[in-house]
Amino acid sequence: MILGIDEVGRGPWAGPLVVGAVVLGDAEIDGLTDSKKLTKKKRDILDVIIRKQAAGIGLGWVHADEIDAIGLSAALRIATIRAVDQITATYHEIIIDGTINFLQETTKGQYVTTLPKADLLIQSVSAASIVAKVARDAYMAEQDGVYPGYGFTSHVGYGTAAHRLAIEKLGVTPLHRLSFAPLVKYDTSALIEKNVNTTKAIGDAAEVVASQYLSDAGHEILERNWRTRFCEIDIISIKGAAYYFTEVKYRKSALQGSGLEVITTKKQQQMKFAAELFAAKHRIKGSDLYLGAVAASGTPPKVADFLVLE
């Protein structure tokens, strides 16, 4: 009863990263191997069989905007967590293709074995690579209709010569990973963020005041400055059955603005990743998770606003 895990889409310039997770159970399926060694026709046939016979299947998706916001390393971890969270079948061991334990930050990390070439050696990992590959390829083929002219069906987002020429002619799409070196020149968001009139002096005093504000509003403060090597959150609190992950923004003067405008979509993606990682690490399921933002200003700091972000 092995839970096999493998990913596809680590290297493309466009499209999602997809992690497959499969428990085969008692299923015996001939022909399972690394999805890259199979023809498209054979992968499609095996995908149908796996979906019919496997005890459990999960797919974890991370799209380009999230990859740009949190980085590829963090994206691999959150995609793996999302895939594993879909598995309800019983399993006794987790095997991840490669050398990195993407579940290390969670309670399941201790049960993981990493194994290079596991997609060639372990059938459940082979199955995971196949269902992930088929799902991602089908998604990219659908994008040809949404973004004609890029040839996503043929190169599925990889940096081929034809793909490069299409970008030079048509520009980038929301599918493109602008944090990847060949496409960085198309990213204007970094320039916009640099031009925002804001101070970087976010004092500890502002976080203390924000924590007290949330406590007065009925929140129980669970963590302050919670961080891993991949992400951090200023304040984590719980109110009722809901968890709040709050960023604190401080301005010396209210005339400079609230500071909340610098919580960009990219920043919200980073906060979302941190919330999901915290939930996975602490086995939080069935509870609502909210992203929050506190604006503080003045000397000494006072809370000007608290928003729950959509």
Question: Domain for residue 232, yes or no?
Answer: yes
| Interatomic CA distance for residues 81 and 66, integer angstroms | 15
Q: Are residues 23 and 169 in the same domain?
A: yes
Domain count for the chain, please give it.
Answer: 2
Q: Are residues 168 and 31 in the same domain?
A: yes
Domain boundary (119, 153, 186) is at 186
Q: Are residues 144 and 214 in the same domain?
A: no
| Interatomic CA distance for residues 266 and 269, integer angstroms | 5
Q: Are residues 24 and 141 in the same domain?
A: yes
Q: Are residues 253 and 305 in the same domain?
A: yes
What's the mean pLDDT when you consider all of the chain? 89
- Within 10 angstroms of residue 52's Cβ, the number of other Cβ atoms is 9
Q: Mean of the pLDDT values across residues 233-253?
A: 88
CATH label of the domain that carries residue 219:
3.40.1350.10
Q: Are residues 153 and 66 in the same domain?
A: yes
Q: Are residues 177 and 249 in the same domain?
A: no
Domain boundary (186, 219, 235) is at 186
Question: Domain for residue 198, yes or no?
Answer: no
Question: Domain for residue 194, yes or no?
Answer: no
| Interatomic CA distance for residues 117 and 125, integer angstroms | 9
What residue type is 16 in one-letter code? P
Q: Are residues 58 and 17 in the same domain?
A: yes
- Within 10 angstroms of residue 160's Cβ, the number of other Cβ atoms is 15
C-alpha dist (Å) from residue 59 to 12, 49, 100, 132: 18, 16, 18, 7
- In this prediction, residue 8 carries a pLDDT of 98
Question: Domain for residue 73, yes or no?
Answer: yes
Q: Are residues 168 and 218 in the same domain?
A: no
> Given a cut of 80, is residue 103 above it in pLDDT?
yes
Percentage of the chain lying above the pLDDT 70 cut: 91
Query: Does the global pTM surpass 0.85?
Result: no
| Interatomic CA distance for residues 244 and 126, integer angstroms | 38
φ, ψ (nearest 5 deg) of residue 164: -60, -45
Question: Domain for residue 104, yes or no?
Answer: yes
CATH label of the domain that carries residue 130:
3.30.420.10
Question: Domain for residue 197, yes or no?
Answer: no
- In this prediction, residue 257 carries a pLDDT of 46
- In this prediction, residue 260 carries a pLDDT of 63
- Which is it for the CA torsion 288, 230, 13, 80, positive or negative? negative
Domain boundary (186, 217, 249) is at 186
Give the structural domain span for 251: 204-309
Question: If pLDDT is split at 50, 70 and 90, which confidence band does 197 have?
Answer: very low
C-alpha dist (Å) from residue 301 to 120, 198, 202, 251, 258: 58, 16, 10, 9, 12
Q: Are residues 11 and 160 in the same domain?
A: yes
Q: Are 290 and 245 in contact (CB under 8 A)?
A: yes
Kindly provide the b/e burial profile for residues 121-143, where b requires at least 16 CB atoms within 10 angstroms of the residue's own CB. ebbbbbbbbbbbbbbbbebbeeb
- In this prediction, residue 310 carries a pLDDT of 63
Q: Are residues 158 and 51 in the same domain?
A: yes
> Given a cut of 50, is residue 196 above it in pLDDT?
no
Question: Domain for residue 196, yes or no?
Answer: no
Which residues face 140 on adjacent strands? none
Q: Are residues 24 and 155 in the same domain?
A: yes
Question: Domain for residue 193, yes or no?
Answer: no
- In this prediction, residue 304 carries a pLDDT of 86
φ, ψ (nearest 5 deg) of residue 204: -60, -30
